[in-house]
Chain A
Amino acid sequence: MFQGLSLEQAPPYAVPIKFYLSGAFYLILLSAAIIVYGFSVSSRFDYEVIALTHLLTLGFITHVMFGSLFQMLPVMLGTPYTNVVKNATIIHIALNAGVLSFVVGFLTNTALLLYFAAILLTGTFFYFAILSFKTILLSQEKNTLVQNFAASFIALFAAALFGALALLGHFGFVDTLRYGNTHIAFMLFGWVFLLIVSVSYKIIPMFFVAKEFPIFVQKRLYPVQLVLLFLFAYAQLQEKTLLLTLTQFLLCASVILFALLSILILRKRKRARKDASIQLWYFAMGNAILASLLFTGADILHVNLSFAIGFFALFGAVYALINAMLYKIIPFLTWFHLSSNMVFDAEMGDVIPKKKMNMQINLYYLAYFFFLCTVLSPAFIIPSATLFLFSSLLLLLNILKAQKYYREYMKKKVVFE
């Protein structure tokens, strides 16, 4: 039966905010870790690089994605997560324990911590994917949107599995490189990309009063992407070089197609007013295109561009997109929870001051620019990481500001006897 967004379906305000705050905390750790370890890295296989990358992917990206899904999946599908508070708490604790074990395990080369991380993280991802899948199955709707979400969770399953195998590979059980590459492909081209795509289909028309994505794209992109990913896995594990190159090329083509389409739709949006989140969206899409081109080019030309591809894909595209979404979601969420509690004095625009948001985003842009300059000299690592540290601190403070705003206004709630 119909279940609209109301407080019965949405989780308590504290659930997503807890995940967002943790995400920002890991960005601070990441910035500090870059200052300490940034100079000593030389290859993407260095244990320090694996630790730093996962501070961003597991620490920040996963936290924000999980927190947002707990809040938004019920809105989009009309079905709540079961026992959301209990399940979110379990996942939050397990994820944090997993991330910290993983990072410390790699930085100190401690096998026991890495085994512990493998169990915790695989368990957390599986648990979250099953929980979300169950939510999808309970939804009365089985439309394209639901199918897109389901596809992203299938990719998450596979990514977690290959990630665990790659981790075990560090102890000689399997070939780490091949499983690691498959893990990265499923994570980036599968879970992250398909989730962003699924959310965009609804969010872009909703937030920016823009046209819907073409139905053909909504229906065909996700199965094509899944088939390509499984072909990629087969080619990677069986060492079929030609098939591997072809699937890589087509996976990149999907990303470029989506990025260009979203830019086109946003440029034609009815709500023409520019804001920081639109700029960040364009910036992210530009970076996604650049990363995809470099990924394809590096393969064809046989050059090693791993750092550049990782930087543009993760720091330039995924991070920017999440930053943009956070500044749309958090103020609305805060205002919505307050007005649903009959507190009508609050205003969305006051939840996080615009000035503070812009300051944080500008610091991020500046950090991005200085990171690019490390090509000229590694000395640029220090100012770039420092700028990103300030940006991350400000992001954390901005989320805390929203939480404080919510608490203060909730005190004004009128309780009817």
Chain B
Amino acid sequence: MTIKDFMTSKHRECDHLLTQAEDFLESGEFDEALCKYAAFKNETLLHFTMEEEYLFPMLEEKSGMGSMGPTNVMRMEHAQAKSLFEKMDEAYSTKDKERAFSLGESMNILLQQHNLKEEQMLYTMMNSALAEDAQEIVQKLQNYGN
């Protein structure tokens, strides 16, 4: 499995968790919704950590692009998502359905366009720049957070 394949599959898992949370929210099953939302948040934040602490520095060093290039744009978007999480926490814990949907909409669009850029450009760059150690890197990513 390549780095791109692994990280892309993680994006899809996160998408799925958010849609599950919203499905429960729609049917008024708040406890299940909160549970799925928490899983979505944890997975997404773990994903950001994998990138910011491990993959981005490695790519920046190997490609010589430095930390002010595309990885910096990605970090800024992670910060935007984190600010949304704070509000979503509030909406889910107070069972404010409409607000949770509205914030979910922002989160969804932000993440989708963010993921698109990573999948089309950044992960492709990683695949080529870090090709030699790809297997080891994917293995480490699989055990990340454990």
A residues neighboring B (CB under 8 Å):
1-6, 75, 78, 141, 202, 205-207, 209, 270-273, 332, 335-336, 339-340, 344, 347-350
Q: How far is the CA of A6 from the CA of B87 in the complex (A)?
A: 22
Q: How far is the CA of A347 from the CA of B83 in the complex (A)?
A: 11
Q: How far is the CA of A206 from the CA of B110 in the complex (A)?
A: 9
Contact of B102 among A2, A207, A344, A347 (CB under 8 A): A347
Interface residues on B, range: 20 to 34
Question: Is the pair B112, A2 in contact by a Cβ cutoff of 8 Å?
Answer: no
Question: Is the pair A348, B105 in contact by a Cβ cutoff of 8 Å?
Answer: yes
Q: Which residues of A contact B69 (CB under 8 A)?
A: 1-2
Question: Is the pair A344, B83 in contact by a Cβ cutoff of 8 Å?
Answer: yes
Contact of A206 among B26, B76, B113, B125 (CB under 8 A): B113
B127 within 8 A of A: no
The residue in chain B whose Cβ has the minimal distance to the Cβ of A75 is B113
Contact of B23 among A272, A347, A348 (CB under 8 A): A272
Flag the segment in B32-40, B46-54, B115-123 that touches A. Answer: B115-123
Q: How far is the CA of A116 from the CA of B107 in the complex (A)?
A: 47
Question: Is the pair B22, A271 in contact by a Cβ cutoff of 8 Å?
Answer: yes
Given contacts A2-B122, A4-B117, A141-B120, contact A209 B109 (CB under 8 A): no
Given contacts A339-B80, A340-B80, A349-B99, contact A4 B106 (CB under 8 A): no
Contact of A349 among B22, B26, B98, B109 (CB under 8 A): B98
Question: Is the pair B15, A270 in contact by a Cβ cutoff of 8 Å?
Answer: yes
Question: Is the pair B19, A347 in contact by a Cβ cutoff of 8 Å?
Answer: no
Given contacts A78-B121, A206-B112, contact A270 B26 (CB under 8 A): no
Q: Which residues of A contact B77 (CB under 8 A)?
A: 4
Question: Is the pair A271, B106 in contact by a Cβ cutoff of 8 Å?
Answer: no
Q: Mark B109-144, 1 if CB is under 8 A from A, else 0.
A: 110110011001110010000000000000000000
Q: Which residues of B contact A344 (CB under 8 A)?
A: 80, 83
Q: Mark B80-117, 1 if CB is under 8 A from A, else 0.
A: 10010001000000000011011101101110110011
Q: Which residues of A contact B83 (CB under 8 A)?
A: 339, 344
Q: How far is the CA of A273 from the CA of B83 in the complex (A)?
A: 24
User: Distance (Å) between the CB of A354 and the closest chain B CB?
Assistant: 8
Question: Is the pair B125, A5 in contact by a Cβ cutoff of 8 Å?
Answer: no
Contact of B22 among A4, A141, A273, A347 (CB under 8 A): A273
Q: Which residues of B contact A4 (CB under 8 A)?
A: 70, 73-74, 77, 117, 121
B16 within 8 A of A: yes
Q: How far is the CA of A240 from the CA of B99 in the complex (A)?
A: 59
Question: Is the pair B103, A347 in contact by a Cβ cutoff of 8 Å?
Answer: yes
Question: Is the pair B116, A6 in contact by a Cβ cutoff of 8 Å?
Answer: no
Question: Is the pair B105, A272 in contact by a Cβ cutoff of 8 Å?
Answer: no
Question: Is the pair A2, B19 in contact by a Cβ cutoff of 8 Å?
Answer: no
Interface centre among A2, A141, A209, A350 (most CB of B within 10 A): A2
Q: How far is the CA of A2 from the CA of B26 in the complex (A)?
A: 38
The residue in chain B whose Cβ has the minimal distance to the Cβ of A2 is B70
Question: Is the pair B70, A336 in contact by a Cβ cutoff of 8 Å?
Answer: no
The residue in chain B whose Cβ has the minimal distance to the Cβ of A270 is B19
Of all A-B residue pairs in the complex, the 5 with the closest CB atoms, nearest first, are A349-B102, A2-B70, A4-B73, A348-B106, A206-B112
Question: Is the pair B73, A6 in contact by a Cβ cutoff of 8 Å?
Answer: yes
The residue in chain A whose Cβ has the minimal distance to the Cβ of B71 is A2
Q: How far is the CA of A272 from the CA of B101 in the complex (A)?
A: 12
Q: Which residues of B contact A1 (CB under 8 A)?
A: 69-70
Given contacts A271-B19, A339-B80, A349-B102, contact A332 B109 (CB under 8 A): yes
The residue in chain B whose Cβ has the minimal distance to the Cβ of A143 is B120
Question: Is the pair B108, A335 in contact by a Cβ cutoff of 8 Å?
Answer: no
Question: Is the pair B116, A209 in contact by a Cβ cutoff of 8 Å?
Answer: no
Question: Is the pair B19, A348 in contact by a Cβ cutoff of 8 Å?
Answer: no
The residue in chain B whose Cβ has the minimal distance to the Cβ of A349 is B102
Q: Which residues of B contact A347 (CB under 8 A)?
A: 87, 99, 102-103, 106
The residue in chain B whose Cβ has the minimal distance to the Cβ of A328 is B109
Q: How far is the CA of A218 from the CA of B81 in the complex (A)?
A: 31
The residue in chain B whose Cβ has the minimal distance to the Cβ of A6 is B73
CB within 8 Å of A: which B6-22 residues: 15-16, 19, 22
Q: How far is the CA of A336 from the CA of B84 in the complex (A)?
A: 12
Given contacts A206-B116, A209-B19, A332-B109, contact A2 B125 (CB under 8 A): yes
Question: Is the pair B117, A349 in contact by a Cβ cutoff of 8 Å?
Answer: no
Q: Which residues of B contact A206 (CB under 8 A)?
A: 109, 112-113, 116
Q: How far is the CA of A164 from the CA of B19 in the complex (A)?
A: 49
Q: Which residues of A contact B112 (CB under 8 A)?
A: 205-207, 209
User: Distance (Å) between the CB of B146 and the closest chain A CB?
Assistant: 28
Given contacts A78-B117, A209-B112, contact A273 B101 (CB under 8 A): yes
Question: Is the pair B19, A272 in contact by a Cβ cutoff of 8 Å?
Answer: yes
Question: Is the pair A2, B121 in contact by a Cβ cutoff of 8 Å?
Answer: yes
Q: How far is the CA of A207 from the CA of B108 in the complex (A)?
A: 7
User: Distance (Å) between the CB of A348 and the closest chain B CB?
Assistant: 4
| Other A-B pairs, 16, CB within 8 Å; known A2-B117, A273-B22, A347-B103 | A1-B70, A2-B70, A2-B122, A2-B125, A4-B74, A4-B117, A4-B121, A202-B116, A206-B112, A206-B113, A206-B116, A270-B16, A336-B110, A339-B83, A347-B99, A349-B101
- 15 A-B residue pairs with Cβ-Cβ distance under 8 Å, sorted by A, are A2-B70, A2-B125, A4-B121, A5-B73, A6-B73, A6-B76, A78-B117, A202-B116, A272-B26, A273-B22, A339-B83, A347-B103, A348-B102, A349-B103, A349-B105
